[in-house]
Amino acid sequence: MELNDRLAYGALPGIVTAPVEDRAALLRSYAAIYLEEEVRREASSVNLASFARFLQLAALESGQIVNYAALARQVGITGKTIQSYYALMEDMFVGFLLPAYSGSVRQGVLSTPRFYFFDLGVRHVAGGLPPEPTLVLANPGPLLEQWVGIELWKRVGYLGEGKLSYFRTKTGVEVDFILEHQGRLTPIEVKWTDRPDISDARHLLGFLDDHKKVAKEGLLICRCQRPLQLAPNIRALPWWML
């Protein structure tokens, strides 16, 4: 399956094996029927109208730092209810909260989590967006970042150990993902480029310099054709090798 198709339709087996012309309709049916049934089963007291508004906004904000207060104002409910809705989404396995990395020596590190849908195709239809390759072409970088986050989350789950987080400071220094496994940290950046260079890895270099004892190598996931050594401690990997 081509990258643009993965970013457009997601990875649900029933979707990727369906004819291309049927995928969008199947995804919409999934979002409309399955998600509503799961909400009814998991929390019968939830107001479906307010949850539907929240679901659309949460989908559109997927991959970004959660702003509970802003969502509460837009939906017309309390911030506490918004937090309970995110918890419900996790209970339903519709998405996951990605915590901020808390072990940094830097000052001014953000602590608010990000939220990711478990599947990009479901994310698109939940947000009222067309699950089509044309959507990807409009702004591919953030979708590739979300796809990488979902894949890393799955792999941590398969391993049954380790932790995934992200890193960002108030001044804008950011590393997309921090993978913790067996006492080691691997910072990971995602770029849409097919010709990466060391300038794409400047935040990885900074993170490695700040965490020398536990972080030995950083990875740059992108669209390069083969693995590239950008620096002694920085490797660029093609997305399909993830």
pLDDT at 68: 93
pLDDT at 42: 73
Query: Which residues, 6+ apart, have CB-to-CB distance to 61 below 8 Å?
Result: 67, 71, 115
pLDDT at 106: 61
What is the torsional sign of CA 29, 33, 38, 39? Answer: positive
Ranges of the chain with pLDDT below 70: 104-108
Token representation of residue 93? 């396995």
pLDDT at 129: 95
Q: Tens digits of per-residue pLDDT, 181-200?
A: 999 999 999 999 999 999 99
pLDDT at 104: 66
The residue among 238, 240, 221, 237 whose CA lies nearest residue 229 is 237
Q: Tens digits of per-residue pLDDT, 135-164?
A: 999 999 999 999 999 999 999 999 888 999
The whole-model pTM stands at 0.93
pLDDT at 73: 94
d(CA 45, CA 124): 26
pLDDT at 108: 65
